Structure 1
Amino acid sequence: MDARQRLETTTDGRRDELVALSHGVHGDAEVGFEEHRSSQRVAETLAAGGFTVEHGVAGLDTAVVARAGSGPLRIGICAEYDALPGIGHACGHNVIAAAAVGAGLALAEVADDLGIEVVVLGTPAEEGGGGKVLMMDGGAFDGLHAAMMVHPAPFEAAQMTCLAVQHFEVRYRGRSAHASAYPQLGVNAADALTVAQVGIGLLRQHIRPTDRIHGIVTDGGDAPNIVPHRTGGTWYVRSRTLTELADLYPRVQRCFEAGALATGATVGFDEPGPAYSEFLADQALCELYTAEAEAIGRQFPSPEQEDTALAGSTDMANVSLAMPSIHPMLGIDARGAVNHQPEFTAACVTPTADRAVRDGALAMARTVVAATEDDAVRDRLLARAYEAPRRS
């Protein structure tokens, strides 16, 4: 039995276990940095499969690093398991987690024969918080030669169109007063936020077509008869690259500063996590993945059918700038729903999503085999292992 056959036998033999893991993570629906049960499920499944597991790495309670095999080529497979607030696993991170675990368990069976060490990384807080960036900074990715993951979507794609993004929180502080009897004594923090949003609306005329600015109001005051002394919001600013983001982000901040200037309120900003970068996909690994995924029955759209307008953001992009990486999209039948809709949440525990768990695991595992068989790819990957920059 060759390596690919062994991978398929292992994956299909564990299919029920992997689907149960996917459904369990989906049912937990824990948000970023709070994925205690989900990360524990991942860690326990890998430990039962013979991995050496460390839970709570890089100073993050819900980060996991699991290792199997002793070969010189070290391949990282990333598992995400954080849910979105309010609508749960509407981005299918339960599928991502189970597929990553499945790929790891399959590869562990052939790791020594292939000359690899397979490292499954449970990475918290992708939806905001930058868990992978924090894990890289903390040394959890040290020694890896390449990394990969898969992501469910309404379509199949070898790589994801990805924008750089900065998440930030804004807060205004004014002065409360009776809104009818003594309005002249108040400083209206809600007005400051209104002015800022008008400024952002006008700014949109003068930004690149690939830029994105969007946010929500998280605090609008206490009661209509009290001049709001505080308001707040959470916002995202996105651009094609970190360089373009560095140009746009201050312009957006100035809109919020204008709100403070106009009303007399004070303004402050917080960044809950690092900026996410653009994605630099490794084309050779993308081509290997596409061939292996097609070999097990996945179907990719033609270039004319691809949805090039879709553009999200991910902290896996930061990993791609540090080492060869891929982030293919696994198509599931969501009946017209798209990521970040509650209907997509429901679709992520259907038979089509369960098939994506199996196929995603097997396609990634086969891609690793293909990379070891291609001398040029293998030698290129082995030429440089990642090491986190050391701060003095």
Structure 2
Amino acid sequence: MDLAAQKRRVGEGVDARAAALDRLALEIHGHPELAFEERFAAEGLTKLLESEKVDVRRGVGGLETAFVAEAGAGEPVVAILGEYDALPGLGHACGHNLMGTAAIGAFLALRDAADGMRGRIRIVGCPAEERGGGKVFLIRAGVFADVTAALMYHPGDRDELDPLMLAMVSLEIELAGKAAHAAAEPYEGVNALDGLLLGWNAMSAMRLLIRSDSRVHGIITDGGKAPNIIPDRAAARLMVRSPDNAYLADLRRHVCEVVTTNRPLAEAFAANAKALGRAMQPRRPADTHGSTDMGNVTTVVPGIHPFLSITDGPVPGHSIAFTEAARSPRALETMHLAAKALAMTALDVLADPGLAKRAKEAHNGHKI
């Protein structure tokens, strides 16, 4: 079977499973779970794989809700990644209910279409993208050690091939003080909250000196236990973001890397998306898209993280409006298209040794 025929078969395979994928995506949307707690989503995704006679390895990397499955034999190895965690108070305001299901659809359709081809396809269920860096645990566990290309997509409000994802430092700040009665003997205490607020105000003033493409933001997570007790503990969670790892390193020592879009893989994805009726756009100079642990993956293997629009116009991520968009008919249609484009791009890697070679060269900095 020639490559064009295999890609047609991929499309047919996704379409044949569309109803099951839609149902699961909507169920996950209606049952949002936070980082490391995605038991409902992981169970639904793995059961769908197992219903099609796929052997699934659960608990990968010491993470209860992570999973891996494979099809094929030999090399190259193409990994298709899916996320499924939600945001506190907002649910699936980042559209992750669509990402795990798209990865499942791509994997199953590709398994059927690539039967007899050299190489392996690996689906990687990735928990805790929003908080906790789940993919970092999977890297440490060797999940990507033999991977030739890592592919995933993300829902957005624009079809964007090479989104700028900021590097991120996540900081947990804790100050210790001494408790005392706030009315009777305040002079016996040491107010940890006052100390935290002094630092908070200094951080706010520092924003005037930070580059315009970088961000500092956070929340106070502990300001004391009662108003009549001098707080003996105060805590905050901060995030520092920048597109420049060197600059970020100046701000803090623990760095999660920027997503590096692999140009050869991105071009292959764009060609497949175009064949499916979606024209990918380049990144706009002023655009950023937050941070992701896919950046950690793309420091060790070639990878892509394109955005596909699930909205009719601009809608900010991490908003109630985006939560609603993530269960819309357009979102489900885009999920089908993403599954097809990911599987078709994986086929390109499996079928064309030259593409794998160019992707590796670009990743190593030999050729862009």
**TM-score (normalised: structure 2):** 0.92
- Indicate the residue corresponding to 2:44 in structure 1: 41
* Alignment correspondent of 1:142: 145
> Is the Cα contact below 8 Å between 1:73 and 1:382 reproduced in 2?
no
CA shift for structure 1 position 101:
0.7
Alignment partner of 1:287 is 2:290: no
Partner of 2:366: none
CA drift at 1:20: 1.2
Give how far 1:17 is off.
0.7
CA–CA distance in structure 2, aligned partners of residues 110 and 38 of structure 1: 26
Aligned CA distance change for structure 1 residues 210 and 308 (closer, same or farther; 3 Å): closer
CA distance in 2, matches of 1:176, 1:334: 54
**In structure 2, do the counterparts of structure 1 residues 213 and 383 end up closer, same or farther at CA, with 3 Å as the change threshold?**
closer
- 1:265 aligned partner: none
Match of 1:99?
102
1:348 aligned partner: 326
CA RMSD, aligned part only?
2.2
Q: Runs of 5+ in structure 2 lacking a partner?
A: 364-368
Offset, 1:84: 1.0
Q: Who is 1:309 aligned against?
A: 287
Cα distance between partner residues in 2 of 1:378 and 1:146? 8
Post-superposition Cα deviations, 1:39-87, rounded to whole Å, max 9, x if no partner, equal 1111111122232210011111111001112242210001101111121
Distance 1:379 1:301 in 2: 25
Structure 1-normalised TM-score? 0.87
C-alpha separation between the residues in 1 aligned to 2:189 and 2:319?
39
Residue pair 1:163, 1:238 contacting (<8 A) in 2 also: yes
Whether the 8 Å contact between 2:216 and 2:240 is mirrored in structure 1 is yes
Aligned to 1:245: 248
The answer to whether residue 139 in structure 2 is matched with residue 161 in structure 1 is no
Are 1:110 and 2:113 counterparts? yes
Q: 2:302 aligns with which of 324, 328, 335?
A: 324
1:384 and 1:119 map into 2 onto residues whose CA distance is 22
2:208 partner amino acid: Q
Q: Any residues of structure 2 matched to 1:45-194 within 5 Å, and which?
A: 45-194=48-197
- CA–CA separation in structure 1 for the residues paired with 2:285 and 2:15: 31
Following TM superposition, by how much is the alpha carbon of 1:335 offset from its aligned partner in structure 2, in angstroms?
Answer: 5.7
Equivalent residue, structure 2, for 1:254? none
d(CA) in 2 for partners of 1:285, 1:384: 10
CA deviations 1:110-130 (Å, max 9, x no partner) are 223432311000011111211
Shift of 1:366: 1.2
Quickly say closer, same or farther: Cα 1:334–1:83, change in 2 above 3 A: farther
SS class of match (1:58): helix
Contact 1:71/1:114 (CA < 8 Å) preserved in 2?
no
Tell me the matched-pair count: 361
Do 2:245 and 2:258's aligned partners in 1 also have CA atoms closer than 8 Å?
Answer: yes
Q: Which moved more, 1:113-122 or 1:57-66?
A: 113-122
Q: 1:177 to 1:105 in 2, by over 3 A?
A: same
Q: Which runs of 5+ in 1 are unaligned?
A: 251-273, 386-392
**Letter of the aligned partner of 1:350 in structure 2?**
S
- Alignment of 1:333 onto 2:336: no
CA deviations 1:82-110 (Å, max 9, x no partner) are 11112111111111111111110110002
What is the DSSP-based 3-state SS (H/G/I as helix, E as strand, rest coil) of the residue aligned with 2:299? Answer: helix
Q: Is the 8 A contact 2:78 2:121 kept in 1?
A: yes
Quote the offset at 1:301 in angstroms: 4.0
| Identical-pair percentage | 38
